[in-house]
């Protein structure tokens, strides 16, 4: 029996191997559990309690996708001159804009006396700590600071910068449940119930954000004539700024010269985005479908118009939202030739 607000209600007890049950003195978690058990149908509240009891993101998939976002930002900073990042547009203030709260931006720390190259090098070094997986709970805060600085401080940010800022802010809450020193190492020690709850809320927020981004992107395109009539990819493949080049460009221009293939490719992008937005809110199988579609869509974008950092960030964005959160549930099935030990590491 579990006392809740002066009432007692029988609840189901789950035995989870390797996990410590919620501590009796953790009043916050106990009150949340009471509220859920009294306000939700029994089967839903029981399922939620089981999900929280088995929640654990200390796995290779979370580390890989988190490192993927940081690596995309490193590539962006390494191969883009600082002057190009700070290229002002007509009617805007001089960049970087360090007035007010913007003074705490990674692009403004130290004031004008700090050379721009030093700031860029410092951001790359901090992002490298994210890639190598040092103290995820701490470096997630630094990662969010850099991502927000890039998103708000550049004159011409792309969609990847904005998405990375949102993802990194959410990752701060997810990483609360990651108590490892090195993110590439496994750890079987139990996570406290409060940390599990905060981390799970972050994952749910991330999945909702994926749905919003892709559904909004798809339905917004329907109001554009070229997307609505199925001809948008014809102009994208021939754009002087983002058009395809080389063998891929020639092949894409040939394909988009056929009206039927052109409409299939154009509307296929819209259907793919809608499917990602809907599947990411489903169970593990649906989320795997969402990740596969995102991998296909953004790999095509990378090959066709070369938006590498944007594509890497979006693939990692969907992958992190799609990953399983239950302990020992693998994201992909290991092939038969993998050893038993390797299968255990993959599941972790």
User: What does each of the 348 residues of the chain score in pLDDT, given as a tens digit?
Assistant: 444 444 444 444 444 444 455 554 455 555 555 554 444 455 556 777 777 788 888 888 899 999 999 999 999 889 888 777 777 666 566 677 777 788 888 888 887 888 888 888 999 999 999 999 999 999 999 999 999 999 888 776 667 889 999 999 999 999 998 888 888 887 777 788 888 889 999 999 999 999 999 999 999 999 999 999 999 988 888 877 766 677 888 888 898 899 999 999 999 999 999 999 999 999 999 999 999 999 999 999 888 887 888 999 999 999 999 998 887 666 655 455 444 444 455 454
The pTM (predicted TM-score) of the whole model is 0.79
**Rounded CA gap, 274 and 217, in Å?**
9
Instruction: State residue 208's pLDDT score.
Output: 96
Give the number of residues written for the chain: 348
SS3 per-residue string spanning the chain: CEEECCEEECCCCCCCCCCCCCCCCCHHHHHHHHHHHHHCCHHHHHHHHHHHHCECCCCHHHHHHHHHHHHHHHHHHHHCCHHHHCCCCCCCCCCCCCCHHHHHCCCCCCCCCCCHHHHHHHHHHHHHHHHHCECHHHHHHHHHHHHHHHHHHCCCCCHHHHHHHHHHHHHHHHHHHCCCCECCCCCCCCCCHHHHHHHHHHHHHHHHHHHHHHHHHHHHHCCCHHHHCCCHHHHHCCCCCCCCCHHHHHHHHHHCCCHHHHHHHHHHHHHHHHHHHHHCCCCHHHHHHHHHHHHHHHHHHHHHHCCHHHHHHHHHHHHHHHCCCECCCCCCCCCCCCCHHHHHHHHC
**Rounded CA gap, 122 and 142, in Å?**
11
Instruction: State residue 26's pLDDT score.
Output: 52
Q: pLDDT for 283-317, tens place per residue?
A: 999 999 999 999 999 999 888 887 888 999 999 99
**Rounded CA gap, 144 and 142, in Å?**
5
Instruction: State residue 298's pLDDT score.
Output: 94
């Amino acid at each position: 029996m579990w006392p809740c607000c002066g009432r007692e209600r029988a609840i189901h007890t789950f035995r989870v191997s390797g996990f410590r049950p919620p501590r009796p003195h953790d009043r916050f978690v106990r009150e949340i559990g009471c509220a859920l058990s009294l306000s939700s149908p029994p089967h839903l509240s029981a399922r939620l309690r089981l999900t929280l009891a088995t929640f654990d993101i200390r796995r290779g998939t979370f580390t890989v996708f988190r490192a993927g976002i940081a690596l995309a930002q490193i590539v962006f900073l390494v191969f883009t001159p600082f002057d190009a990042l700070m290229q002002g547009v007509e009617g805007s203030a001089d960049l970087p804009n360090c007035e007010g709260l913007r003074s705490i931006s990674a692009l403004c720390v130290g004031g004008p006396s700090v050379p721009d190259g030093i700031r860029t090098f410092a951001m790359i070094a901090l992002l490298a700590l994210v890639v190598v997986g040092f103290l995820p709970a701490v470096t997630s805060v630094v990662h969010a600071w850099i991502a927000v600085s890039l998103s708000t401080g550049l004159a011409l940010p792309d969609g990847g910068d904005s998405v990375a800022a949102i993802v990194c802010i959410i990752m701060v809450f997810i990483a609360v449940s990651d108590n490892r020193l090195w993110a590439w190492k496994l750890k079987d020690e139990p996570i406290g119930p409060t940390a599990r709850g905060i981390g799970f809320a972050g994952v749910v927020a991330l999945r909702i954000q994926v749905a919003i981004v892709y559904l909004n992107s798809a339905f917004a395109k329907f109001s554009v004539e070229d997307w609505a009539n199925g001809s948008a990819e014809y102009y994208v493949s021939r754009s002087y700024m983002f058009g395809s080049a080389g063998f891929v460009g020639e092949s894409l221009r040939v394909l988009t010269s056929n009206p039927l293939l052109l409409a299939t490719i154009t509307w296929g992008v819209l259907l793919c985005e809608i499917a990602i937005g809907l599947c990411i809110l489903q169970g593990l199988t649906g989320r795997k479908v969402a990740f596969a579609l995102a991998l296909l869509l953004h790999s095509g974008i990378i090959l066709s118009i070369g938006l590498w950092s944007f594509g890497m960030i979006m693939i990692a964005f969907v992958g992190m939202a799609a990953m399983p959160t239950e302990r020992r549930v693998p994201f992909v099935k290991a092939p038969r030739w993998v050893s038993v030990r390797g299968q255990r590491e993959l599941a972790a």
